[in-house]
Amino acid sequence: MKKGFTVTEVVVMVVVLAVLLGLTVPKFITLAHKASEGNTKHKLVQVRSAIAAYYGEHQGMYPTDDLSSLVPTYIEAIPAVRVPGYAPNAHVSHGTYEQAFSKTGGWAYVSEPSDPRFGDFFVNVDENDSYGKPWASH
């Protein structure tokens, strides 16, 4: 008598493994995507905190440059933003809101004192995060 698996048993095992992989891989990809978003939101908070510290030490005046004045006193470096569909980018577009929000990835900072949004810092994309909230509104 030979010992081993029949063809039917092997096919059933392959089907079960395929179903399990089909259920777990999408969940893993979703979790990895949300972790990346969380990292970007954390970096956003870090830079905003550096801007707030600058504001406090300069008698209520925000930086009027591309935020290079924050480095290294208030933050070690401007971090790269990672948003799906865009290459990692630490570039800060700045100027008026219309100039800064170029929707090209990276960061946007309203550095023009005459602009009502002066001091705003946000992700420079016209996309939504995984929760459906626009990145530029975080």
Residues composing the chain: 138
pLDDT digits (tens, 9 = 90+) for 76-102: 999 999 888 888 999 999 999 999 999
d(CA 88, CA 71): 19
Residue 2 lies in a domain: no
d(CA 6, CA 92): 62
d(CA 35, CA 84): 12
d(CA 110, CA 79): 18
pLDDT tens for the 138 residues of the chain, in order: 678 888 999 999 999 999 999 988 888 888 888 888 999 999 999 999 999 999 999 999 999 999 999 999 999 999 999 888 888 999 999 999 999 999 989 999 999 999 999 999 999 999 898 888 998 887
Q: State which residues form the domain around 54.
A: 7-137
Residue 108 lies in a domain: yes
pLDDT digits (tens, 9 = 90+) for 33-42: 888 899 999 9
Count up the domains in the chain and report the number.
1
Residue 64 lies in a domain: yes
Give all strands of the β-sheet with 92-95 in edge-to-edge order.
92-95, 107-110, 121-123
pLDDT value at residue 65:
96
- Considering Cα of 48, then 49, then 51, then 52, what sign does the dihedral take? positive
pLDDT value at residue 135:
87
Residue 1 lies in a domain: no
pLDDT value at residue 11:
93
Residue 127 lies in a domain: yes
pLDDT value at residue 119:
96
Q: Is the peptide bond before 88 cis (omega within 30 degrees of 0)?
A: no
Regarding beta strands 121-123 and 107-110, do their DSSP bridges make them parallel or antiparallel, or are they unpaired? antiparallel
Phi, psi of 128 (to 5 degrees): -105, 150
pTM confidence score:
0.79
Residue 55 lies in a domain: yes
